[in-house]
Amino acid sequence: MSLVLAGIAPHPPLLIPEIGRGELGKVKQTRQALQSLSREIAAARPDTVIIITPHGPLLKDMPVIMAGEELRGDFAPFNAPGVKVRASIDGELAGAIALAARNRGIEVMFENEAGEMLDHGVSVPLYYLQQAGTARQCVAVTFAFLSYHELFRFGEAVQEAAVSTGRRTAVVASSDLSHRLIPGAPSGYNPRGREFDELLAEHLEHYRVPEILTMDEDLIAAAGECGLRSIAVMLGCLSGLSVKPQVLSYEGPFGVGYLVALFTPQAGGEID
Protein backbone atom coordinates (compact mmCIF):
# COMPACT_ATOMS: atom_id res chain seq x y z
CA MET A 1 0.00 0.00 0.00
CA SER A 2 1.73 3.20 -1.15
CA LEU A 3 -0.70 5.63 0.52
CA VAL A 4 0.20 5.20 4.19
CA LEU A 5 -1.74 8.00 5.90
CA ALA A 6 -3.80 11.10 5.20
CA GLY A 7 -4.79 14.01 7.36
CA ILE A 8 -6.45 17.40 7.59
CA ALA A 9 -4.41 20.24 9.07
CA PRO A 10 -5.43 23.87 9.62
CA HIS A 11 -2.97 26.59 8.73
CA PRO A 12 -3.31 29.73 10.89
CA PRO A 13 0.18 31.26 11.24
CA LEU A 14 -0.51 31.89 14.94
CA LEU A 15 0.11 28.15 15.45
CA ILE A 16 3.80 28.98 15.03
CA PRO A 17 5.06 29.78 18.57
CA GLU A 18 7.09 32.79 17.46
CA ILE A 19 3.93 34.25 15.93
CA GLY A 20 1.15 33.10 18.24
CA ARG A 21 3.04 33.77 21.49
CA GLY A 22 0.42 34.62 24.11
CA GLU A 23 -2.44 33.53 21.85
CA LEU A 24 -1.24 29.92 21.63
CA GLY A 25 -3.23 28.93 24.69
CA LYS A 26 -6.44 29.75 22.84
CA VAL A 27 -5.66 27.10 20.21
CA LYS A 28 -4.22 24.52 22.60
CA GLN A 29 -6.44 21.70 21.32
CA THR A 30 -5.53 22.42 17.70
CA ARG A 31 -1.82 22.62 18.43
CA GLN A 32 -1.79 19.36 20.38
CA ALA A 33 -3.82 17.59 17.70
CA LEU A 34 -1.55 18.88 14.94
CA GLN A 35 1.47 17.61 16.86
CA SER A 36 -0.24 14.24 17.26
CA LEU A 37 -1.12 14.08 13.54
CA SER A 38 2.47 14.94 12.63
CA ARG A 39 3.85 12.25 14.93
CA GLU A 40 1.51 9.67 13.38
CA ILE A 41 2.67 10.63 9.91
CA ALA A 42 6.33 10.46 10.97
CA ALA A 43 5.76 7.01 12.49
CA ALA A 44 4.36 5.80 9.15
CA ARG A 45 7.76 6.57 7.56
CA PRO A 46 6.57 8.15 4.30
CA ASP A 47 9.11 8.72 1.55
CA THR A 48 7.18 11.82 0.44
CA VAL A 49 4.49 14.01 1.97
CA ILE A 50 2.01 15.68 -0.37
CA ILE A 51 0.49 18.92 0.94
CA ILE A 52 -2.63 20.31 -0.76
CA THR A 53 -2.97 24.05 -0.13
CA PRO A 54 -5.75 26.57 -0.84
CA HIS A 55 -3.36 29.53 -0.72
CA GLY A 56 -0.85 28.94 -3.52
CA PRO A 57 -1.42 29.88 -7.18
CA LEU A 58 -5.01 28.94 -8.02
CA LEU A 59 -6.37 28.39 -11.52
CA LYS A 60 -9.92 27.76 -12.65
CA ASP A 61 -9.39 24.42 -14.34
CA MET A 62 -5.87 23.17 -13.55
CA PRO A 63 -4.26 22.12 -10.27
CA VAL A 64 -0.79 23.60 -9.82
CA ILE A 65 2.25 21.65 -8.64
CA MET A 66 5.11 23.66 -7.20
CA ALA A 67 8.15 22.66 -9.24
CA GLY A 68 11.92 23.00 -8.99
CA GLU A 69 14.34 21.30 -6.63
CA GLU A 70 13.30 22.71 -3.26
CA LEU A 71 10.38 24.20 -1.39
CA ARG A 72 11.40 27.23 0.64
CA GLY A 73 9.40 29.43 2.93
CA ASP A 74 9.55 31.63 5.99
CA PHE A 75 7.13 33.57 8.13
CA ALA A 76 8.44 37.06 7.41
CA PRO A 77 4.94 38.27 6.40
CA PHE A 78 3.89 37.41 9.96
CA ASN A 79 6.85 39.14 11.67
CA ALA A 80 8.82 35.93 12.23
CA PRO A 81 11.46 35.96 9.45
CA GLY A 82 13.77 33.67 11.43
CA VAL A 83 11.34 30.75 11.25
CA LYS A 84 12.01 28.91 7.99
CA VAL A 85 10.96 25.67 6.34
CA ARG A 86 12.78 23.78 3.58
CA ALA A 87 12.01 20.53 1.79
CA SER A 88 13.28 18.85 -1.34
CA ILE A 89 10.73 18.34 -4.10
CA ASP A 90 9.96 14.81 -5.27
CA GLY A 91 10.09 15.57 -8.98
CA GLU A 92 9.49 11.98 -10.07
CA LEU A 93 6.28 11.73 -8.07
CA ALA A 94 5.17 15.19 -9.25
CA GLY A 95 5.62 14.12 -12.88
CA ALA A 96 3.74 10.88 -12.27
CA ILE A 97 0.84 12.83 -10.73
CA ALA A 98 0.62 15.06 -13.79
CA LEU A 99 0.62 12.06 -16.13
CA ALA A 100 -2.03 10.17 -14.16
CA ALA A 101 -4.17 13.30 -13.99
CA ARG A 102 -3.84 13.92 -17.73
CA ASN A 103 -5.00 10.36 -18.36
CA ARG A 104 -8.17 11.35 -16.48
CA GLY A 105 -8.65 14.47 -18.57
CA ILE A 106 -7.26 16.85 -15.93
CA GLU A 107 -4.33 19.03 -16.99
CA VAL A 108 -1.76 20.12 -14.39
CA MET A 109 0.45 23.20 -14.42
CA PHE A 110 3.97 23.31 -12.95
CA GLU A 111 5.02 26.56 -11.27
CA ASN A 112 8.63 27.21 -10.23
CA GLU A 113 8.33 30.48 -8.34
CA ALA A 114 5.60 29.32 -5.95
CA GLY A 115 7.92 26.74 -4.40
CA GLU A 116 10.45 29.45 -3.62
CA MET A 117 7.92 31.56 -1.71
CA LEU A 118 5.72 29.08 0.10
CA ASP A 119 2.31 30.22 1.26
CA HIS A 120 1.24 29.59 4.85
CA GLY A 121 -1.12 26.85 3.67
CA VAL A 122 2.00 24.77 3.06
CA SER A 123 4.39 26.31 5.56
CA VAL A 124 2.31 25.84 8.74
CA PRO A 125 1.64 22.09 8.31
CA LEU A 126 5.20 21.60 7.02
CA TYR A 127 6.60 23.28 10.14
CA TYR A 128 4.78 20.80 12.40
CA LEU A 129 5.62 17.81 10.21
CA GLN A 130 9.31 18.66 10.26
CA GLN A 131 9.21 19.26 14.02
CA ALA A 132 8.06 15.63 14.20
CA GLY A 133 10.97 14.52 12.01
CA THR A 134 9.29 13.93 8.66
CA ALA A 135 8.43 15.71 5.37
CA ARG A 136 11.98 16.36 4.25
CA GLN A 137 10.76 15.44 0.76
CA CYS A 138 7.45 16.84 -0.45
CA VAL A 139 5.12 17.67 -3.29
CA ALA A 140 3.06 20.84 -2.78
CA VAL A 141 -0.13 21.16 -4.82
CA THR A 142 -2.92 23.71 -5.13
CA PHE A 143 -6.36 22.59 -6.16
CA ALA A 144 -8.31 24.11 -9.06
CA PHE A 145 -11.86 25.49 -9.06
CA LEU A 146 -13.14 22.27 -10.56
CA SER A 147 -16.17 20.41 -9.25
CA TYR A 148 -15.67 18.43 -6.06
CA HIS A 149 -16.06 15.19 -7.99
CA GLU A 150 -13.36 16.26 -10.45
CA LEU A 151 -11.05 17.15 -7.55
CA PHE A 152 -11.75 13.70 -6.11
CA ARG A 153 -10.67 12.24 -9.45
CA PHE A 154 -7.49 14.30 -9.28
CA GLY A 155 -6.87 12.73 -5.87
CA GLU A 156 -7.28 9.31 -7.46
CA ALA A 157 -4.52 10.31 -9.89
CA VAL A 158 -2.31 11.17 -6.92
CA GLN A 159 -2.92 7.72 -5.47
CA GLU A 160 -2.14 6.07 -8.82
CA ALA A 161 1.12 8.04 -9.05
CA ALA A 162 2.16 6.96 -5.56
CA VAL A 163 1.57 3.33 -6.53
CA SER A 164 3.34 3.60 -9.90
CA THR A 165 6.44 5.20 -8.35
CA GLY A 166 6.45 2.91 -5.33
CA ARG A 167 6.53 5.88 -2.96
CA ARG A 168 5.31 5.48 0.58
CA THR A 169 3.18 8.60 0.57
CA ALA A 170 1.28 10.64 3.15
CA VAL A 171 -1.22 13.29 2.10
CA VAL A 172 -2.15 16.38 4.10
CA ALA A 173 -5.12 18.55 3.17
CA SER A 174 -4.33 22.03 4.43
CA SER A 175 -7.76 23.37 5.30
CA ASP A 176 -9.43 25.99 7.43
CA LEU A 177 -13.18 25.67 7.75
CA SER A 178 -15.71 28.48 8.12
CA HIS A 179 -14.27 32.00 8.52
CA ARG A 180 -17.63 33.29 9.82
CA LEU A 181 -18.20 31.61 13.16
CA ILE A 182 -18.54 34.64 15.45
CA PRO A 183 -19.21 38.36 15.22
CA GLY A 184 -15.94 40.02 14.25
CA ALA A 185 -14.68 36.92 12.40
CA PRO A 186 -12.33 37.56 9.44
CA SER A 187 -15.10 37.24 6.84
CA GLY A 188 -17.93 38.57 8.96
CA TYR A 189 -20.49 36.54 10.87
CA ASN A 190 -22.94 34.03 9.43
CA PRO A 191 -24.75 31.52 11.67
CA ARG A 192 -24.54 28.96 8.88
CA GLY A 193 -20.76 28.86 9.34
CA ARG A 194 -21.16 26.78 12.49
CA GLU A 195 -23.74 24.60 10.72
CA PHE A 196 -21.27 23.90 7.89
CA ASP A 197 -18.42 23.05 10.26
CA GLU A 198 -20.51 20.73 12.41
CA LEU A 199 -21.96 18.92 9.40
CA LEU A 200 -18.56 18.49 7.72
CA ALA A 201 -16.99 17.25 10.97
CA GLU A 202 -19.80 14.70 11.32
CA HIS A 203 -19.38 13.51 7.73
CA LEU A 204 -15.61 13.16 8.24
CA GLU A 205 -16.03 11.32 11.55
CA HIS A 206 -18.23 8.75 9.82
CA TYR A 207 -16.31 8.88 6.51
CA ARG A 208 -19.33 9.82 4.43
CA VAL A 209 -17.48 10.64 1.23
CA PRO A 210 -20.48 11.03 -1.14
CA GLU A 211 -22.14 13.41 1.32
CA ILE A 212 -19.01 15.56 1.52
CA LEU A 213 -18.70 15.80 -2.26
CA THR A 214 -22.34 16.84 -2.59
CA MET A 215 -22.70 19.31 0.28
CA ASP A 216 -25.21 22.10 -0.31
CA GLU A 217 -23.64 24.88 -2.38
CA ASP A 218 -25.51 27.63 -0.54
CA LEU A 219 -24.25 26.29 2.80
CA ILE A 220 -20.68 26.15 1.50
CA ALA A 221 -20.90 29.73 0.24
CA ALA A 222 -22.41 30.97 3.49
CA ALA A 223 -19.61 29.35 5.52
CA GLY A 224 -16.80 31.23 3.79
CA GLU A 225 -14.45 28.26 4.04
CA CYS A 226 -11.10 27.62 2.36
CA GLY A 227 -10.66 23.90 2.93
CA LEU A 228 -13.34 21.78 1.29
CA ARG A 229 -11.54 21.49 -2.05
CA SER A 230 -8.32 20.38 -0.36
CA ILE A 231 -10.34 17.77 1.50
CA ALA A 232 -11.99 16.56 -1.74
CA VAL A 233 -8.54 15.92 -3.26
CA MET A 234 -7.40 14.12 -0.12
CA LEU A 235 -10.48 11.89 -0.15
CA GLY A 236 -9.70 10.98 -3.76
CA CYS A 237 -6.23 9.93 -2.67
CA LEU A 238 -7.93 7.38 -0.38
CA SER A 239 -10.34 6.12 -3.05
CA GLY A 240 -10.91 2.37 -3.00
CA LEU A 241 -9.26 1.89 0.40
CA SER A 242 -10.84 0.85 3.66
CA VAL A 243 -10.18 3.81 5.94
CA LYS A 244 -10.30 4.43 9.68
CA PRO A 245 -11.30 8.10 10.25
CA GLN A 246 -10.51 10.10 13.40
CA VAL A 247 -11.39 13.72 14.05
CA LEU A 248 -8.69 14.70 16.56
CA SER A 249 -9.87 18.21 17.41
CA TYR A 250 -12.09 21.09 16.41
CA GLU A 251 -12.24 24.64 17.73
CA GLY A 252 -12.77 28.16 16.44
CA PRO A 253 -11.78 30.73 19.06
CA PHE A 254 -11.00 33.48 16.55
CA GLY A 255 -14.00 32.92 14.30
CA VAL A 256 -12.28 30.46 11.93
CA GLY A 257 -12.89 26.72 12.24
CA TYR A 258 -9.76 24.66 12.86
CA LEU A 259 -10.24 20.91 12.40
CA VAL A 260 -7.51 18.28 12.66
CA ALA A 261 -8.23 14.75 11.44
CA LEU A 262 -6.37 11.53 10.68
CA PHE A 263 -7.35 8.91 8.08
CA THR A 264 -5.61 5.55 8.29
CA PRO A 265 -5.84 3.06 5.40
CA GLN A 266 -6.37 -0.43 6.76
CA ALA A 267 -4.00 -3.16 5.62
CA GLY A 268 -5.64 -5.48 3.12
CA GLY A 269 -8.62 -3.18 2.93
CA GLU A 270 -8.56 -2.31 -0.76
CA ILE A 271 -11.99 -2.27 -2.35
CA ASP A 272 -12.30 -4.17 -5.63
pLDDT by residue (tens digit) across 24-49? 999 999 999 999 999 999 999 999 99
pLDDT above 60: residue 115? no
pLDDT > 90 in the chain, percent: 89
pLDDT > 70 in the chain, percent: 97
Q: What is the mean pLDDT of residues 49-65?
A: 92
User: Alpha helix (H) ranges present in 71-191?
Assistant: 91-102, 112-116, 120-131, 148-165
pLDDT by residue (tens digit) across 193-233? 999 999 999 999 999 999 999 999 999 999 999 999 999 99
Taking each helix axis from N to C end, the angle separating 120-131 and 28-43, rounded to the nearest 10 degrees, works out to 70
Average pLDDT value over all residues in the chain: 94
Q: Which of 45-59, 103-117, 170-184, 199-213 has the lowest mean pLDDT?
A: 103-117
- Of the CA atoms within 13 Å of residue 154, those in its CB half-sphere come to 29
Domains of the chain, earliest start first: 3-265 (3.40.830.10)
Q: Taking the model in full, what pTM does it have?
A: 0.95
pLDDT by residue (tens digit) across 143-167? 999 999 999 999 999 999 999 999 9
> 50 with 169: CB under 8 angstroms?
yes
